[in-house]
């Protein structure tokens, strides 16, 4: 099946927004492949560690905000740049990448978060 970058972009955005806003289990259930891998030592590498990380954010920073700055898709890869403000007042820029399989499911996720001074 040929890749559809626009469809992949939409899926990545829904995945990110759903996970960030407190339902990482649903994001994984709806959009991740069975072989989904995370490449982030702060989050871990499994679906369970992904859920734990985002559930922890929801508990520790319930009033955090997310702004999608830009989304770029090319073939089977989508990149999302965000601005985030957490309840603690900390501000971050993130760059997240999503790799898709031929069925339109996310098979890999990795990101980089930097503090804004």
As for how many domains the chain has, the answer is 1
Where do the H-state alpha helices sit in the chain?
5-20, 24-31, 47-60
Q: In the prediction, which pLDDT does 1 show? A: 58
Reported pTM: 0.92
Please give the residue range of the domain that contains residue 47: 5-115
CATH classification of the domain holding 79: 3.10.450.50
pLDDT digits 0-9 by tens, 89-113: 999 999 999 999 999 999 999 999 9
DSSP 34: E
Return the residue matching tokens 């955005």.
13
Q: In the prediction, which pLDDT does 42 show? A: 85
Structural Rg of the chain based on CA atoms:
14
């Amino acid at each position: 099946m040929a890749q559809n970058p626009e469809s992949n972009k939409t899926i990545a955005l829904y995945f990110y927004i759903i996970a960030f806003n407190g339902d990482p289990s649903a994001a994984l259930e709806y959009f991740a492949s069975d072989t989904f891998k995370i490449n982030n030592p702060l989050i871990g590498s499994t679906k369970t560690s992904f859920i734990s990380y985002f559930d922890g954010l929801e508990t520790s920073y319930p009033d955090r905000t997310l702004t999608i700055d830009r989304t770029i898709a090319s073939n089977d890869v989508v990149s999302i740049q965000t601005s985030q403000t957490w309840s603690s007042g900390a501000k971050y820029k993130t760059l997240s990448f999503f790799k898709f399989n031929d069925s339109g499911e996310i098979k890999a996720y990795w990101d980089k978060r930097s503090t804004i001074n």
